[in-house]
Amino acid sequence: MRPLQGIPVCRVTLLLATLAATFSGGMGEAYGQRRTAHYFQSADLPPGTVGQAQLLRGGPLPGYFQPVEVRCPQGCLISPAVGPGYAEPQPDKLLAGMLVGAVYRLKISKIPLHETDEIYPTIEVINRLHPPPGQESRFPIPIEITAEELQLAIRGQFVTRVIYLEDPTRPFPLQEDPKNQRVFEVHPADDPLRVADELGRPMAILRMGSRVPDETQDPTQLGFGYGSPPLKLLAPAIDLPRDAGLETSSSPPGAKGAIRYPRLPLILQPGTPMQTRRPQGAAR
């Protein structure tokens, strides 16, 4: 007697079909873990291309000044392009609101050990944040330009830095150093925009090379400064001692080390008697 004798063929077929459906589901899961996204843009495109494509996707991007904080080594001066020239240089740090999709040209001068050189990087903001109302300038996109990158640019190298927002479901399990931004180096053949998209959400692209303004170019053409798009210079957020906490401060009021809040500037000249004005008819 054959082992499967008497079992209808339809039952065998149904069993095999069930097995095939079960295991093909697992196989589909395995294949589903592959990322097969096709990227239309790359960081090697001309400045402004990625940002303009982002504007076409819709959403609250047009017209929003995304705060960006550009940090340089101590001693450097940062000047954003405004009109045909450059704005007043800011030492070490620049906090400004930039439009998504526009390209901003900066001038970095007074570089330590390279005081005679100037670097002209561009910044392209390609996405925005959605902080709580009133907290916009407290959560800017940090763009750090290191001394190493400045020296690479002076030597003629081209540095592309894509700043991305970390995915909170896959964070890097180390303490963040506010003074040194964590950076991953990729191969020159790789696309940093694509790597940044796999690690989080790309927010801005910094391009920095040895390009200098053409002296023979008509300054009214504004080609080197990408038209100097509108820029909103922001005052740095007041760094209140939030970490101190009310319960940890045990010093009495007025003592050294007590929490001091910024006060209004004194408008009265020294020696001017201070007068108390009261409305007419008010009881004294």
Map the footprint of another protein across residues 63-82, applying CB under 8 A: none
Query: What's the closest the beta carbon of residue 95 comes to another protein, in angstroms?
Result: 14
Is residue 93 within the footprint of another protein (CB under 8 A)?
A: no
Residue closer to another protein, measured from CB, 115 or 244: 244
The separation between the first and the last C-alpha atoms of the chain, rounded to the nearest angstrom, is 119
Rounded to the nearest 10°, the torsion over CA 63, 227, 127, 148 is: -150
Q: What are phi and psi of 192, to 5 degrees?
A: -65, -25
Query: What's the closest the beta carbon of residue 41 comes to another protein, in angstroms?
Result: 14
Q: According to CB under 8 A, which residues from 6 to 65 bind another protein?
A: 9, 12-13, 16, 19-20, 23-24, 26-27, 30-31, 33-35, 43, 46-49, 52, 59-60
Query: What's the closest the beta carbon of residue 102 comes to another protein, in angstroms?
Result: 5
- Rounded Cα distance, 283 and 28, in Å: 84
- Rounded Cα distance, 156 and 212, in Å: 11
Q: According to CB under 8 A, which residues from 213 to 232 bind another protein?
A: 222-223, 226-230
Q: Is 207 helix (H, G, I), strand (E, B) or coil?
A: strand
Residue closer to another protein, measured from CB, 110 or 139: 139
Q: According to CB under 8 A, which residues from 140 to 169 bind another protein?
A: 141-142, 144, 149, 152, 156-168
Q: What are phi and psi of 122, to 5 degrees?
A: -120, 150
Q: Other C-beta atoms within 10 Å of 220: how many?
A: 8
Give the Å distances, CA to CA, from 200 to 58, 147, 165, 168, 169.
20, 26, 5, 8, 10
Query: What's the closest the beta carbon of residue 215 comes to another protein, in angstroms?
Result: 18
Is residue 273 within the footprint of another protein (CB under 8 A)?
A: no
Identify the CA nearest to 52 among candidates 39, 41, 44, 68.
41
Count the residues of the shown chain that bind another protein, applying the rule CB under 8 A. Answer: 107
Determine contact, residues 192/186, Cβ cutoff 8 Å: yes
Region from 72-80, 87-95, 109-117, 135-143 binding another protein, contact rule CB under 8 A = 135-143
Query: What's the closest the beta carbon of residue 88 comes to another protein, in angstroms?
Result: 19
Region from 70-78, 89-97, 108-116, 182-190 binding another protein, contact rule CB under 8 A = 182-190
